[in-house]
Structure 1
Amino acid sequence: MLLLLLLLVSASCLWLGHSEVVTSFESSCPQFFFRETPPNEALEPENPAWICQRYKNQYYFATLYDRDRRIPVYSAYLYQPGSGKRPRTWLVEPQLMGAAYPKTVEREWTLLKYFNVSLEQLSKSQAILQDYKNLTGLNRGHLNPSGHHNDPSSKAVTFTLTNIVPQNEKLNGGAWNNYEQQTMIRNTQGCNTTYVIVGAVPGNNYIAKGRVNKPSHLWASACCEVDTKHRKAWAVIAENDKNEVQLLTLGELEDMLTQLYRRDQVSLFDSDCPRE
């Protein structure tokens, strides 16, 4: 029986992948940021978690997570779109409960059945599937969408609950989807490498009996390397109760986020990325 249990857990870990809660992106997974420079501290929440998402010993993206509001602050990744099936399996982050737990991204039932974790224990550290059930006018909005990745492994890793927020249903399926699928294709023409950071501004409302914050705005930014001497950038922002997306320069988005967060001046990318 013990051997069977070990085999089941081992198979689960091999299939799913790995995440790491780290102390900084600069030292652990800097490759998802232009010039290996993450956003400055102006976006950091009071109780942050830095997560490097890894699958089969390869990192796929980085997420700054707000432990208190149980939503991501932003996810950063390289834009490498491709066809393929949309994953269906939702995952959670065991290490948000503590460093003693597995580095593997797991399904809820795997943790509950094989790692002696209770649902209450898991729910204290992050959002769970129950939080996103029976929503009205909202759905699970990816910051890092699976469609911006080109292989099954990278697509699968985007389906962690630490990469989604409660997003207006019409916005998610409408103007925001148009940006992800159409505007990004147009804007990345001629780009060799495109660094993307997508985020959510915390709002005043919550779902799941006050457990999970509903963002007031969603935003996205990109810095594209055309060649060694030329770069271009763009950004968008959307209110999370309207089916509208506003196209901005990178500098305009940083200024808007500075006003919305009411803290220090926001800087999303290294200074060599054009702001105008």
Structure 2
Amino acid sequence: MLWLLLLQVSSLPVWLGHSEVVRSLETSCPQFFYRGMAPNEALEPPNPAQICQRYKNQYYFATLYDRNMRIPVYSAYIYDPGHGKRPRTTWLVEPQLMGPTYPKTMEKEWTLLNHYKVSFEQLSESQAILQDYKNLTGLNRGHLNPNGHHHDYSSRIATFTLTNIVPQHDKLNGGAWNNYEQQTMIRNTKGCNTTYVVVGAVPGNNYIAGGRVNKPGYLWASACCEVDSYHRKAWGVIAENDKNQVELLTLGELEDTLTQLYGRGQVSLFHSDCPRE
């Protein structure tokens, strides 16, 4: 019995250190945040999950997920665009939102239902599923962390997880928001060596899928880039989800706006070295 107890105890840190759903983003995947500092607790919902997004045994970005709303609060990543088309891939889900005994890497729904004997009820209770995003009118699956901001095939596929998706108005997703992702980001990151990005969604008052998945009222994005060892620049944007318009802000203006919208205290998205003006 003693050897069994020791085996159980010795195996515990392994799970805590390497699992997909983690205790701390700053401890488990700090590389996606400037100086390893994640946004503060003012963004944290009542029932959060911290996810180091793993695909094929490699972390590609980090997500704070709202289990109650079934949408991400934010996704954080390093901006590193490359050449190539949008991958044709099946949308993935996060097994460990059901519990730590499930796979540590994102998987297809079919794989979990057929190879891991997960019930449809287990999966759908833990997170948004493909069925939630079917038959939408005027909305589509909006990436927070967009596949086009990554340089290779695997890093782009990793963004196709439903824990990185919100119901976004299709005109905004294909219009002004797309222009920000594809054009404004290119202009703003000129001269940057490394650009850290945090993109999020403010919950709204409406839902899809019979009340299962929240439709955000606002989408927002922020970035802090290192120009060199002594200089940094930062910016933010915000958009109402039902309007095809994106407002460009300073980082400080965005944080103040989010402070009002979330109502949980002063929001801080990046380390204090990132300029607020």
The answer to whether the superposition gives a TM-score over 0.5 is yes
- Name the counterpart of 1:84: 84
| 1:231-254 CA distance string (max 9 Å, x none) | 000110000000000000000000
Structure 1 window deviating more from structure 2 (85-94 vs 200-209): it is 85-94
Per the alignment, in what secondary structure is the counterpart of residue 237 of structure 1?
A: strand
Find the aligned partners of 1:37 and 1:207 in 2 and give their Cα distance.
33
Listed one character per residue, the Cα deviations across residues 164-211 of structure 1 (whole Å, up to 9, x for unaligned) are 000011000000000000000000000000000000000010000000
Q: Is the 8 A contact 1:19 1:55 kept in 2?
A: no
The code of the aligned residue for 2:134 comes to K
Q: Does 1:242 align with 2:250?
A: no
Further displaced range: 183-192 or 54-63:
54-63
Q: Which residue number corresponds to residue 12 of structure 1? A: none
Query: Structure 1 residue 19: deviation in Å?
Result: 6.9
Pick which of 216-225 and 57-66 moved more: 57-66
Measured at CA, do residues 153 and 186 of structure 1 come closer, stay the same or move farther in structure 2, by a change above 3 Å?
A: same
C-alpha distance in 2 between matches for 1:64 and 1:46? 12
Q: Which residue of 2 aligns with 1:219?
A: 220
Q: Give, as a single letter, the amino acid of the residue that structure 1 aligns with 2:94.
A: E
Paired residue secondary structure (2:191): coil
Partner of 2:276: 275
> Given the alignment of the two structures, is residue 93 of structure 1 paired with residue 94 of structure 2, yes or no?
yes
CA–CA distance in 2 between the matches of 1:57 and 1:99? Answer: 16
* Matched-pair contact (CA < 8 Å) for 1:64–1:74: yes
Equivalent in the alignment of 1:62: 62
Point out where structure 2 has 5 or more consecutive residues left out of the alignment.
1-17
The Cα of 1:109 is off from its aligned counterpart by 0.6
Matches for 1:245-256 after TM superposition, within 5 Å: 245-256=246-257
Q: Distance in 2 between matches of 1:133 and 1:65?
A: 21
Q: What does 1:1-276 align with in structure 2 at a 5 Å threshold?
A: 20-87=20-87, 88-276=89-277
How many residues are paired up?
Answer: 259
Q: 3-state SS of the aligned residue for 1:159?
A: coil
Counterpart contact for 1:19–1:54, Cα < 8 Å: no
Kindly indicate whether the alpha-carbon contact (under 8 Å) linking 2:197 and 2:223 is maintained by their aligned counterparts in 1.
yes
Q: Hey, what does 2:14 align to over in structure 1?
A: none
Distance 1:58 1:250 in 2: 30
Q: TM-score by structure 2 length? A: 0.92
| C-alpha separation in 1, matches of 2:167 and 2:19 | 22
**Root-mean-square deviation (Å):** 1.0
- Residue in 2 aligned with 1:6? none
Aligned equivalents of 2:111 and 2:269: distance in 1?
36
- 1:228 & 1:253 partners in 2: Cα distance? 25
Matches of 2:19 and 2:185, distance apart in 1: 27
User: Equivalent residue for 2:15?
Assistant: none
1:166/1:215 contact within 8 Å kept: yes
Stretches of structure 1 that go unaligned for 5 or more consecutive residues are: 1-17
Contact 1:223–1:273 (Cα < 8 Å) also in 2: yes
Note the C-alpha offset of 1:56: 3.7
CA distance in 2, matches of 1:34, 1:168: 30
Residue 104 of structure 1 and its aligned partner are, at CA, apart by: 2.1
Q: What is the TM-score normalised by the length of structure 1?
A: 0.92
Partner letter of residue 200 of structure 2? G
Identity fraction in percent: 82
Alpha-carbon deviation of 1:55?
3.0
